[in-house]
Structure 1
Amino acid sequence: MESYGIISLLPIFIILILAVSTRRTLFAMCAGLTVGAAILAGKNGGFVDSWFHYAYKSMSNESMQWIVLIVAMFGMLIVLFERSNAVSDFGFWARRFVKTQKQSMVATAILGIIIFIDDYLNNLAVGTTMKGITDRLGVPRTQLAYIVNSMAAPVCILIPLSSWAAYFAKLMESQGVTVHGTGMGAYLRGLPFTFYAYIAIIICFLQIFGIIPKLGQIRKDYAHYEKTGSVFPEGTDQEQVDAEMNVAEPGEDDRPRPWNFLIPLAVMIAATLAAGTEVLVGSTAGVITAFVLYLIQRKMSFRELLEACYDGIVSMTFVMILTFLAFAVQQVNVDLGLANFVIEVTKPVMKGAFLPMVVFLVCGVYAYATGCFWDLAAIILPIVIPLANAMGVDPILASSAVFSGACFGSNTCLYGDGVIMCAQGSGIKSIDLMFASLPYAGMSAAATAVLYLITGFVM
């Protein structure tokens, strides 16, 4: 693949600068896509044809179509939960067990570990489940989202039954890295070296218990809560605040029914596992279960249920558009040869004992800048594994460094699918979640780099 050299960095640079300065992620993504389409206009028959070429590429991408279907199903489920009062009933029921800020944050982290099957399911389900409880106890939404985000991808990497583990194991096997003849055997052998995932989870718990202080966006939002009583980041649209906080208290004769929330959630998780970690099957089963359950109980009429499903899809429009733009920009990066440029620039320092650390840093920065995580592993493993073999470095260790870098990117990229879905589930903007996560993810990345340097020399 031809590389445009340093020019290939321009769309990403534009996106990050505009997103940070304007806090308008969609605008920043459109600008980045436009710049990329302009650079590649000669290749694609002119600027207009180039722009729509990448729009079409994004819409025809099977992964993008799959994500849109997932998001639509979760949108339906969330609105069904809200309009049937299932979420508020669960929150009122949970009051007897979760009574303090710290307890609510620990419960969020534990739920994130329990829902280990897939990071999409984790990011959307945990935020939706816990935000009513954490709101009541005065936990800022950015704090909630940081915890959800810090559990999602790291937990999925560390538990071999997840979609992440299955995919990465298959990649290792395709590159001839096996233990006892299987890629999963090699993946399990490499789990102790997937340092970023362990450290991110440990730092999250240390932050919850106050051993690591509140930093950056989270510190700012705690101060904002103390001043205004709002758990939302400063500048959040008042209409959104009113819509999410307008929850009716049950009457004296009403008994909260947590099962109206827990049963669809349990069916969703069980169906996902039964379908081989296929989240689309699980989320569809959850929607059908909720629909039938509320209809039988007459919580809502058939027409109201249909309207809730439609409104749920509409409520996810922002996420769908952002996902569409993210995939278009990723295709621009492919055609600009960004990955080849990064690899060529960093190859001279990918030597010997330094290889695992450099691989982690390169993968982490690339994943953060581009929003590519699974694609990143597929691109760079065929390069890293031969390098590791040639230099006498354990290819399993080098592979674990790639996976750690992908995990760091999933935790931090403002237009990565993990951050987009976590922000949506927690009811905040992607840019706010990125700023909330970066200080702690940065700590995790720094410690991970040191561990890979030490391990590279020891092994």
Structure 2
Amino acid sequence: MIQNTALALLPVLTVLLVSVLTKRALLGLLAGAVTGAILLGGWGFFDTLVGTFGASLSNETVHWLALVVVLFGILIAYFNVSGAVSDFAEWTERFVTSRRKSLLLTWLLTVALFIDDYLNALTVGTSMKRVTDRYGVPRTLVGAIVKLTSAPIAVIIPFSTWAVFFAALLEQDGVTVNGSGFGAYVQGLPFVFFGWFALAIGLLLALGLLPLVGPLRREQLRVDRTGDPLPEGLTAEERAFELSGAATSGKRPLPFNFLLPIITLIVVTILTDINIVAGSAAAVVVAIVLYLAQRRMTIRDVFEQAFEGVMSMGYVIILFVLAFMVQHLNTELQLAEWVIGATEPVMHGALLPAIVFLVCGVYAYATGAFWDLAAVITPVVLPLAIAVGVDPVLAGTAVFSGAALGSTTCLYGDGIILASKSVGVKPLNLMLSILPYAGAAAVLSVIAYLVAGFATFG
């Protein structure tokens, strides 16, 4: 059994290499899972693989994510068959009259739904892709703006699911301000550098003040040439699903057919202590009542479209199961312990915040574990920071920034998977489009942590 050695990196490297070469995230995850099973089980790797598959299926987080995406799938199917999304897109014509305004509204909606990055990644992509289609905006650009904003806004607003979790970690490890971890988190918000830089880059991209580079530039040239905002590589079924409900009926648009379920989702989520499952279920119920009352759906449609919505999310659920298999194997291979052990000797003095951010960012990107990362590394980093004379709040924000970097960029992270599904693109295309901009935010964050580390050291 190979544990706590550099070979623990092999599953992660396999995932990235196979995904890029085949342009199929699912194949990459499967290859990574098989590699990890071989490292752990040797000739008995098949038993290890089956056991890991079972562990992933029994994971409570996978159950929760499956419920969320299935409910969203049903809701999106109801939106499409009722014409709610096309009504919303048509209604926005009165105040969204340009490409820049459509992208700015995309950014603003993502900020407004700061409660959780799953919520804004799914909701904003679904609501805005038809609006941006009118102005020849590639779907990958819409997804990039949403994903550059979703986790960063969740980590810098102190009333999100991210903030609540990270504040609890600080308090658990004895880092408090006025007796609470929440106070420490609020004090550290100016130092969550990746969140601020990514948020600003997302805004500048929406305003057209940053150039399109790499895959985004190629996608824009393709859209300009063909007039088709949908990416290449979609199956006929996927393309049909993305275009369903896009045609307008000629009647006066009723935006509240879309807005009321979304408002219900947000309000119920907040009132139930950030329970997105409850919010999504309530939104589905409101949509059914609205569309049946208006005869935009029949009882038969309710059941048929629910089935279609569940089936449309099948690929996403499979990706989640494989992603959690890889995460489980990484844990068994003690990847986190190896990374910490390899980098701990250089984590000292004023360099510590920058090194912590880099290590956490790379680890989160490589493994798809974000909150898990913070839960594992925070108890190591905070005592180390105190021991070497570094502000523990600053060190903690470096961990949280690294988690946000991973969520924004990881190919098989839940954030990328959900955002790509909502705008109708492949996870690999979205990740490659985001990397140049997230990379710029990461470089600026390293510089900022170096400055802050030297300014506060001792």
Instruction: Tell me which interval the TM-score lies in, with the shorter structure as reference length.
Output: over 0.9
Q: Which amino acid is 1:448 matched to?
A: S
Give the deviation of 1:302 after TM superposition.
1.0
Cα deviation per residue 1:171-190 (whole Å; 9 max; x = unaligned)? Answer: 11111111111111111011
Within a 5 Å distance, the mapping from 1:59-208 to structure 2 comes to 59-208=57-206
Cα deviation per residue 1:335-363 (whole Å; 9 max; x = unaligned)? Answer: 00100111111111101000000000000
Q: Which amino acid is 1:423 matched to?
A: S
Contact 2:2 2:8 survives alignment (8 Å): no
Contact 1:196 1:445 survives alignment (8 Å): yes
Question: Residue 345 of structure 2 aligns with which residue?
Answer: 348
Q: Secondary structure at the match of 1:46?
A: helix
Within a 5 Å distance, the mapping from 1:209-224 to structure 2 comes to 209-224=207-222
Cα deviation per residue 1:149-182 (whole Å; 9 max; x = unaligned)? Answer: 0111011111111100111111111111111111
Q: Secondary structure at the match of 2:331?
A: helix
- Among candidates 423, 430, 433, match of residue 433 of structure 1: 430
- Find out whether 1:380 has 2:377 as its counterpart: yes
Cα deviation per residue 1:8-38 (whole Å; 9 max; x = unaligned)? Answer: 0001011000111110111110010011011
- Among candidates 368, 393, 396, match of residue 371 of structure 1: 368
Cα deviation per residue 1:208-247 (whole Å; 9 max; x = unaligned)? Answer: 2333210111101000111111112333334423432354
Q: Secondary structure at the match of 1:232?
A: coil
Structure 1 237/352 Cα, relative in aligned 2: closer, same or farther at 3 Å? same
- Find out whether 1:227 has 2:225 as its counterpart: yes
Aligned-pair identity in percent equals 47
- The 1-side partners of 2:311 and 2:193 are apart by 39
Once superposed, which parts of structure 1, at least 4 consecutive aligned residues long, lie more than 4 Å away? none
Question: Residue 358 of structure 2 aligns with which residue?
Answer: 361
Q: Which amino acid is 2:290 matched to?
A: L
Question: Residue 30 of structure 2 aligns with which residue?
Answer: 30
- The 1-side partners of 2:189 and 2:80 are apart by 39
Q: Which amino acid is 2:123 matched to?
A: A
- The 2-side partners of 1:271 and 1:241 are apart by 32
Question: Residue 278 of structure 1 aligns with which residue?
Answer: 275
Q: Which amino acid is 2:260 matched to?
A: I
CA-based RMSD of the aligned residues comes to: 1.3
Contact 2:167 2:184 survives alignment (8 Å): yes
Give the deviation of 1:250 after TM superposition.
3.5
Cα deviation per residue 1:297-346 (whole Å; 9 max; x = unaligned)? Answer: 22111111111111111100000000000001000000001001111111
- Find out whether 1:302 has 2:299 as its counterpart: yes
Contact 2:56 2:324 survives alignment (8 Å): yes
Question: Residue 243 of structure 1 aligns with which residue?
Answer: 241
Cα deviation per residue 1:134-155 (whole Å; 9 max; x = unaligned)? Answer: 1111100000000110111011
Structure 1 unaligned regions, length at least 5: none
Q: Which amino acid is 1:28 matched to?
A: G
Give the deviation of 1:2 after TM superposition.
8.2
Give the structure-2-normalised TM-score: 0.97
Contact 1:221 1:234 survives alignment (8 Å): no
Q: Which amino acid is 1:360 matched to?
A: F
Give the deviation of 1:205 after TM superposition.
1.5
- Find out whether 1:311 has 2:308 as its counterpart: yes
Contact 1:99 1:137 survives alignment (8 Å): no
- The 1-side partners of 2:207 and 2:50 are apart by 49
Give the structure-1-normalised TM-score: 0.97
